[in-house]
Amino acid sequence: MKYDVKDIKLAGAGKQLIEWAEREMPVLRLIQKRFAKEKPLKGVTLAACLHVTSETANLMRTLKAGGADVYLAASNPLSPNDAVAAALVKEYGIPTFAIKGEDNKTYFKHLNAVLDVKPNMTMDDGADLVSLLHTTRKELLAGVVGSNEETTTGVIRLRAMEKDKALKIPVLAVNDNMTKHMFDNRYGTGQSTLDGVIRATNILLAGRNFVVVGYGWCGRGLASRAEGMGSHVIVCEVDPVKALEARMDGYRVMPLVEAIAIADIVVTVTGDKHIIDVAHIKAAKDGVVLANSGHFDVEINKVAMKKMAKSIRTVRPFVEEYVIGKKKIYLLAEGRLVNLGSAEGHPASVMDMSFAGQALGSEYMWDNKGKFENRVYALPPEVDQEIARIKLKSEGVEIDALTAEQKEYLASWKEGT
Ligand code: ADE
């Protein structure tokens, strides 16, 4: 078996992490049990490009149990867990190509390695595999029945391809499942981003000015978690509706150039580039901590920061000190997503729902192969209902059901005042 991991001897430790995550993934466990019986993915060769974590390992096991041949590469150079990568290879027989801290060349070598198996389905977190399939690996496109996308940034890229009529395969936007973005993006990113900031710096959050840039689902979650830790939260947002929402949620709202002048911590969660740029660095308070939790490492303009810096040194793992003029500015996890760079990503309990969507999405794509156009599709709403129903049941939560009379009332227009 071909693979590329840091140290295969870490497999034992990785298996323990994978089993620990599995305890918190009841929805995926149930799907895995059904997949093992029904083998709905027989005939699938799946190349996946995801963050290589213990939660992802459980998704890979589920897809394999369903009959798929799975191959996994990292979706970010800094996010792989080396022990998990080793366990995937040694304990579960899943070819894995991922090394924490790999350089860009190795990153793309790993992506190409999973494409070399000539997959008939792909799975992305950020659309890098789909992008390669449409550029340097075009010869493989004809054999691919479709792809799944995990994250907002990837879906935005894919919709841009669709708009340009450049998309040559159908894609399921798993991110758009309610049971994904309302929970993973909000509670997952909220908690894991704070976890990343705290593990990297061990700074106190109480009483500090904590700036959240971007008030999408991730920003909403992060702001509420930072507030819960006692920070004074400031939100910066370009969309007036979201900015108004942030204000009515109780946060101060202002332009970033003003916010950064009083900020102790700034975290970008926008999905766009150069959010923190030269003007912001010039305005920043001495000692400010900068982090990014958006998918790509372009939100903080670190190229400009490097040019402006008199010196740069690593002061703790995942903390670089930039001396710029008379100020010291601290950049976490090289500006890559801090929740996976210096922590372990979202907790398993939310990834359970996200990856249940991936597993059911793969089954849906394979069952309906040939029926899709080359567009970005949402999964049917029943998938959300099913995932939420199982999740509630696993947590011992029961809910009410509408009576026949209530259903009839909602369906009719005749009964009014
Ligand atoms: N994205 C964010 N957190 C993650 C995790 N724990 N596993 C895989 N992908 C993630």
The model's confidence at residue 364, banded by pLDDT at 50, 70 and 90, is very high
Which residue is it, tokens 């940034």?
153
For 342-353, what is the mean pLDDT? Answer: 97
The boundaries of the domain holding residue 389 are 4-180+346-394
Do 384 and 278 fall within a single domain? no
349 lines ligand 1 (CB under 6 A): no
What is the pLDDT of the chain when averaged over all its residues? 97
Q: Is the CB of 345 under 6 A from ligand 1?
A: yes
pTM (two decimals): 0.95
Q: Is the pLDDT of residue 39 over 80?
A: yes
Beta carbon of 180 within 6 Å of any ligand 1 atom: no
Instruction: Give domain status of residue 88, yes or no.
Output: yes
Tokens of 93: 């027989």
Total number of domains in the chain: 2
Distance 328 CA to ligand 1 centre (A): 31
Q: How many whole angstroms from 271 Cα to the centroid of ligand 1?
A: 16
From 301, 323, 341, the end of a domain falls on 341
| 43 and 155 in a common domain | yes
**């907790």: which residue's tokens?**
347
Does 55 sit in the ligand 1 pocket, CB within 6 Å? yes
Q: Are residues 145 and 277 in the same domain?
A: no
Measured from the CB, is residue 24 less than 6 Å from ligand 1? no
48/88 same-domain check: yes
For residue 409, tell me if it sits in a domain: no
- Given a cut of 90, whether residue 415 has pLDDT beyond it is no
The whole-angstrom separation of Cα 270 and Cα 155 is 14
154: nearest Cα among 48, 71, 69: 48
CB 221 within 8 Å of CB 212: no
Q: 414 pLDDT band (50/70/90 cuts)?
A: confident
Strands 327-332, 319-324: pairing is antiparallel
Residues 39 and 158 in one domain: yes
Shared domain for 202 and 169, answered yes or no, is: no
pLDDT band, residue 150 (cuts 50/70/90)? very high
Q: Give the pLDDT band of residue 208 (cuts 50, 70, 90).
A: very high
Instruction: Tell me if 54 CB under 6 Å of ligand 1.
Output: no
209 and 91 fall within a common domain:
no
Residue 156 lies in a domain: yes
For residue 200, the domain's CATH number is 3.40.50.720
197 vs 96: CA distance, rounded Å: 28
DSSP 8-state code for residue 380: P
Count Cα neighbours of 255 within 13 Å in the Cβ-side half-sphere. Answer: 5
Residue pair 210/265 in contact by the 8 Å Cβ criterion: yes
Can you tell me the distance from the alpha carbon of 9 to that of 89, in angstroms, rounded to the nearest whole number? 11
Confidence category of residue 416, pLDDT binned at 50, 70, 90: confident
Q: What is the dihedral of CA 267, 270, 271, 274, to 10 degrees?
A: -70
DSSP string, 18-40: HHHHHHT-HHHHHHHHHHHHH-T
Eight-state DSSP code of residue 186: I
Minimum-distance ligand 1 atom for the alpha carbon of 53: 7
